[in-house]
Structure 1
Amino acid sequence: MTEILLEIRVVLNADHNELKGNRLYVAASELNNQINEIMLDLLAEEYNVKKNKIKIMKGQNSIQKTIKII
C-alpha cells in the first residue's frame, strides 16, 4: 500500500468543521487535541481508512501539520 504525505493548515473560527484541499476549517477558537481528533475523523472519512492508519508526523500543537496516511 502507498503512503500519502499531506501538509494541512488549520483555520480556526470557521462556521463548521470541514476539510477542503489542504485546509482544515474548524469551529474551535483555539488549538487543542480536540482539533487533532476532528482532523483524524475527517481524513479517515475522506481517504476511507481507519483512524489508526493516520499519523501526525509534525505539528501536533500547531496550525501547520504534516500527516502520513498508511
Structure 2
Amino acid sequence: MSRRFEITDARGGAALTVRVVTQAERTEIAGVQDDGVLKIRLIASPAGAPAANQELVDFLADQLGVPSENVAVVAGENGREKIVSIEGLSVNQVEAILHGGQ
C-alpha cells in the first residue's frame, strides 16, 4: 500500500514519518520517497543506534528552529523508518519549513 508524505496533527505539535539512510557523507533531507516518507541521510551508523536517533533529532530541531527537547523519535527507534514528534509547531509550520528547505 502506498502512502503519501503526510505531517499529522499531534498533541501540542506535529508528527511525521521519516526513513533514515546512514553512513552518508553529510546529514541532509534527501527528499520524499515514492511511498511518501521523508528521506533523511545521516552521517551516523547504524540507523537504530542511539547516536543515529540523536543525530536525527538534532538535525530536525535545527532545520525547524526548535529546541531538540521538542523533537522526539516516538516509534521505530531501532529501525530505519521512524515516527518523529515535533512539539510547538503546527502541521502548516512544519510543512512550510520542510518544503521550503528542499
Q: 1:13 — aligned with what? A: 23
Inter-partner Cα distance in structure 2 for 1:29 and 1:56 = 16
Q: What secondary structure sits across from 2:69 in the alignment?
A: helix
Q: Which runs of 5+ in 1 are unaligned?
A: none
State, as a whole percentage, how many aligned pairs show the same letter: 26
- Matching residue within 64, 86, 89 for 1:47: 64
Q: Which one has the largest radius of gyration?
A: 2
In the alignment, is the contact (CA less than 8 A) between 1:19 and 1:42 conserved in 2?
A: no
Structure 1 runs of 4+ aligned residues shifted over 3 Å read none
TM-score by length of 1: 0.83
Aligned residues of 1:12 and 1:26 also touching (Cα < 8 A): yes
Counterpart Cα distance in 2 of 1:42 and 1:53 = 12
Coordinate RMSD, CA, aligned: 1.6
Higher relative contact order (CA 8 A, sep 6+): 1
**2 CA distance for matches of 1:36 and 1:19?**
15
**Gap regions ≥5 residues in structure 2:** 1-11, 32-37, 88-102
Q: What is the TM-score of this pair, normalised by structure 2?
A: 0.60
Q: Distance in 2 between matches of 1:43 and 1:19?
A: 9
Q: Is the 2:45–2:51 contact (alpha carbons within 8 Å) kept by the matching residues of 1?
A: no
Q: Which residue of 2 aligns with 1:3?
A: 13
- Pairing 1:64–2:81 present: yes
Q: Within the alignment, does 1:26 sit opposite 2:36 as a pair?
A: no
Aligned length: 69
